[in-house]
Chain A
Amino acid sequence: MTQPVTIIMIEDDEGHARLIERNIRRSGVNNEIVSFQNGTDAMQHLFGADGSGLVQKGNALLILLDLNLPDMTGIDILRQIKENKYLKASPVVVLTTTDDSQEIKRCYELGCNVYITKPVNYENFANAIRQLGLFFSVIQVPPAAP
């Protein structure tokens, strides 16, 4: 059962979100992107109303996570994702403006797969996403041009 990966983007800055989305599309990744502008909505979506994460059972997810959110820190979201049995296998890409080595270390310790500092080198970024997606499941590529 191969299932297309859904990209969950948790990013409060609309501009950043748009740029990320564009670059993902430009690099030829055509998967569905679900974006959230704050942590609460994202948590609701990921863990469901009961907070167990059962709603996402069997879904292939790739999570793009900004650490600086208006209502909670990305670190908390990352920890909860990696502690949830249904979600912990989903790759998480942390996107942030901080290049603080302590914070990077902490994210990797919590189980993040890639840590990307903004301003983003979008070529490398798209590459990382593609590889993560391939590693996990199927990446939808656009149908060949007619």
Chain B
Amino acid sequence: MTAEAQRRRAFWQILLIAAGLLILAVISAGSVYLVNKAREDSKWVVHTIEVENQINSLLLEIRRAESSARGFLLTQAEGFKIDHEKAVEAIVPALDKLTRQSGDNPAQRENVEKLSAAIETRLGQFAQEMEFIRQGQPDKAAALIREVVSTDATAAITRIATGMIQEEERLFRLRSENADRSQTFAASMTGIGSGLVVLLALISTWLVRRSARARDEAEARLRDANVNLESVVDERTADLREANDEIQRFAYIVSHDLRSPLVNIMGFTSELEELGGDIFHRIGSLAHVSAEGAPLAPAGPGEIVLDGADKQLSEDFSEALGFIKTSIAKMDRLISAILNLTREGRREFQPVKIDTREMIEAVVSTLAHQAAEAQAEIRLEPLPDIVSDRLALEQIFSNLIDNAIKYLKSGVPGEIRIRGRTKLGYAIFEISDNGRGIDPKDHQRIFDLFRRAGTQDKPGQGIGLAHVRALVRRLGGTMSVSSELNAGSTFTITLPIAWNESNRNAER
């Protein structure tokens, strides 16, 4: 999977979440709005019913007033009169209430005004009727009632009230429908929104699961790659180890087989030397015979004194043989050195806890004689203890301290310091001197086998530092030098504080 695809998927997921949030917000706002609207609609529905109620109760009061007025006219009973007065008293507040309630509707307001006028007329007629009855003229009252019935006051009231009720019923239907619609709308909106949210959640879940699957696959691939890498590293390490062993074996066999002809060269050179001695002895004795004319009794070698050209020949012969023998001796030492190096390379290290100070003191004591001769003082500063191969460490320090003593400035009392510290699991040792120093251009060279630098006034094969560096590397460390000509040298060795098998496996 590419980074581009990953970015795109992340973008889609964010977009989905944003869309979900937006839909939720819209649903919430819409719900609040619609619920409010539905409440409003319901209020209006209730209002309509109340108005209708009010009209009915007003009509009821008017009928009550009418029927009680008739009752009173017929019987003149005080009960009907009281009843009539109560009804008439109730009519005016009921009418007022209706006026207030229908204030919102202009059509109804007009109807209410008409109704009020009709009711007022009718109330006036009631008052007249009652007046006639009180004055004891029931006939007039009856006539008035007849007149009233024939006039349209009552009919107008009934008509207007019916109209109003019809209007209110129409409004009731309308408002009910409105309220229903609002509620249906709110419900469907909630439903659709919820559906959308669920859908988004499903898509989101699918995307998350897909990306989780992709991640699992990537992890598996990574794990495979790691395993592969490890096996590749193991393989390479094994190859390297094999190559190293091969080189070791090669060096061993080569140096071993080089020795064989060298033995012959050396042996027969010795033979030649002896032969040469015999030959010159004979030449000498023959020369003496010819000179003195008398044979000499065989005598021991050395008694014959050669002279002139013969002496020169003998000296040349000895000189040539001398060079050959020196070279052979040198070659033998070099071959021995290579053999020793390869042998060291094959030696198994044994990690042990080392009291570094005590170990270096022992090394120093074996070099005490050389140090005294060179007037060198060796100072040990506090040193960290480490776990490593004791013999290897002894060889490392012995070589470095020996070098420091060997290459001091003549005439200047030597001062050799050995310092130590630890850093991040490594012990760092510094061996510094105030000796003749090493030219920076030779810093690399001095670590090469059989290479030396500076004035060649001390015996040596050029093996020590190469050996030391090989040991340090095998111990999982590094070494370096900092030095200037005539300004002393400092060799720095960095070794793991705790060397173990795994270090070596990693190293070899």
Partner-B contacts on A (CB < 8 A): 13, 15-16, 19, 22, 68, 97-100, 118-120, 122
Contacts and interface: CB of A to CB of B under 8 A. Distances in A.
B260 A120 contact: no
A15 B268 contact: yes
A13 B267 contact: no
Contacts of A99: 336, 339
A137 B464 CA distance: 48
B502 interface: no
Nearest to B266: A119
B262 A98 contact: no
A119 B343 contact: no
B246 interface: no
A100 B252 CA distance: 11
Nearest to A22: B271
Given A15-B268, A19-B268, A19-B271, A119 B263 contact: yes
A119 B262 contact: yes
Interface string B234-270: 0000000000000000000000100111111011101
A13 B256 CA distance: 14
Given A100-B343, A119-B332, A19 B259 contact: no
A97 B259 contact: yes
B183 to A, nearest CB: 103
Contacts of A19: 263-264, 267-268, 271
B260 A13 contact: yes
Contacts of A100: 343
A97 B256 contact: yes
A47 B259 CA distance: 31
Contacts of B339: 99
Instruction: Give the secondary structure class of B's interface.
Output: helix
Contact of A15 (B259, B267, B332): B267
Contacts of B332: 119
A100 B267 CA distance: 22
A119 B267 contact: yes
21 contacts: A13-B263, A15-B261, A15-B268, A16-B267, A19-B263, A19-B264, A19-B268, A19-B271, A68-B256, A97-B256, A97-B260, A99-B336, A100-B343, A118-B263, A119-B259, A119-B263, A119-B266, A119-B267, A119-B332, A122-B267, A122-B270
Nearest to A100: B343
Given A19-B271, A100-B343, A13 B259 contact: no
B236 to A, nearest CB: 30
A16 B259 contact: no
B263 A97 contact: yes
A6 B271 CA distance: 25
Contacts of B256: 68, 97-98
Contacts of A22: 271
A15 B256 CA distance: 16
A8 B335 CA distance: 30
Contacts of A120: 263, 267
Contacts of A98: 256
B336 to A, nearest CB: 8
A142 to B, nearest CB: 18
Nearest to B329: A119
- Name the 8 nearest CB pairs between A and B, nearest first: A15-B264, A19-B267, A97-B259, A118-B263, A119-B266, A119-B263, A97-B260, A13-B260
A16 B271 contact: no
B251 to A, nearest CB: 14
B268 A68 contact: no
Nearest to A98: B256
A98 to B, nearest CB: 6
Nearest to A19: B267
Nearest to A102: B343
Contacts of A122: 267, 270
Nearest to A15: B264
A118 B259 contact: yes
Interface string B334-366: 001001000100000000000000000000000
A16 B261 CA distance: 9
Nearest to A97: B259
Contacts of B262: 119
A94 B357 CA distance: 43
Contacts of A68: 256, 260
Contacts of B343: 100
A13 B271 contact: no
A100 B259 CA distance: 14
Given A13-B260, A15-B267, A68-B260, 16 more contacts: A13-B263, A15-B264, A15-B268, A16-B263, A19-B267, A98-B256, A99-B336, A99-B339, A100-B343, A118-B259, A119-B262, A119-B263, A119-B267, A120-B263, A120-B267, A122-B270
